[in-house]
Structure 1
Amino acid sequence: MAEQLGFTIRQRDIRPLDFILSLIDALAGDGNCDTQADLHRKFNELTGLNVSYRSWANQAKKDALPTLILWLWVQCLEIFSRKVMAFDEDSPFSEFEHILIQDGSSQAVYDALKEAFPGRFSTVSPAAVELHTTMDLLTNNLVRVQLTEDTRSERDCLPHCQHPWPIS
């Protein structure tokens, strides 16, 4: 998929899997990763290579990287999710085409991002993001995923639904 998305054009020392795993390890680790240089060091540590910062940064700035990460995330969701709900034809719930659930999870981010991503608890976390996810329980699919500033209301992130009855 890295080749199809344009992340890997030629096979070099920086392989896509190693690159992504080092990012996950660094960002999910002990919280001591504040700069790109820290991510680069983690890559070299994890792979045992001595890739220059410039070579590593050229990979990190590729436009295809966010798309590759999103594709991998969706693959993980498909692999690790399971059918949550199913109803017999006789069940009154079998009449439903969709049952949506939505939730948001907050995460503090680097304080210097407080202008773009203000946090609700500005004293503790001046910068924070919230991942809003809407899922259809009947089809076991994600309907919508948004990453917003933590101060945005979850109500703003609900998907537009067409109702068969008027809502006042």
Structure 2
Amino acid sequence: MKRTTRGALAAAVAGLAAALGATATATPAAAAAAVPVPVPLGGAETALGTELPEIAGELPVPTAGAPEGPRYTEGRLLPDRTLPQLPVTGGLPGLDVRQPLPHLLGEGFDHAALDAPAAGLRTLTPGLALDTPLRAPAADGGLPSLGLPRAGVLAPVVETVPSAGLGVGPGL
């Protein structure tokens, strides 16, 4: 094997290894369902000389799914769902807030907290069902019949189960 051929082969293998390494390191970040969002209030606490709440949030990353394929039914020229519904999954944003309390409620209560974790969200976009005024030809080889055109809108769907917790307790 010539020296130039070996050099080109080595460069190709090195480029492939670098591309695979970059993909391996990028996959976990791209696969995250939610992105944490901290709210830094340390500088404001120092400037104001008081304790401020600790706030953190989560922003979901929506992902689109694959629509269902066309469903052909007997007697119709167009598929059942002409414009299919597209599924999109994601989530509602989450929030975690802890506010220090200077023993307002007694000795054992040092903070008030609100915890609303990110909740899963599943949606379907609106779809469209159409049918032409021309019906399918008869089975005996006759001409197609005429009818009224049909149109329908497939309603969008939103499914989620949000939750939240409010409480007071010791420590921060």
Q: Which has the higher contact order (CA 8 A, sep 6+)?
A: 2
TM-score, structure 1 as length reference: 0.28
Give the number of the structure whose alpha-carbon radius of gyration is greater. 2
Higher share of residues assigned helix: 1
Higher share of residues assigned strand: 2
